[in-house]
Amino acid sequence: MIDKPMDIKDTPEILRRNVYDLQEQLTTANQRIIKLHETVGDLKRITDDMSYWLQGLQIYTNDISTLLHQSDELKSGDHE
């Protein structure tokens, strides 16, 4: 059985490959961060919209509650 000669890389080649791999990892990480940033922005806009609509709903339910309370007072003759 004949052994193939080992492909031994010298130090500069190993360093170049490591730098290239690190650059690829940084590029991928940066793309993920950008996407996450966009997603967080979208989620913030959605929660802001929900908060606005919930405040409106709270006002609406308070108004209904007040009207019902006033109606009950008028029916019972207990109005001020």
Query: What are the extents of the domains in the chain?
Result: 44-69
| Better-predicted residue by pLDDT, 5 or 49 | 49
For residues 71 and 39, the model is more confident at: 39
- Is this structure's pTM higher than 0.75? no
Angle at CA of residue 27, ends 21 and 29, nearest 5°: 100
Model pLDDT, residue 80 = 53
Q: Is 79 helix (H, G, I), strand (E, B) or coil?
A: coil
Q: What is the pLDDT of residue 78?
A: 59
Tens digits of residue pLDDT in 8-56:
778 888 899 999 999 999 999 999 999 999 999 999 999 999 999 999 9
Residues 60-75, mean pLDDT to the nearest whole number: 92
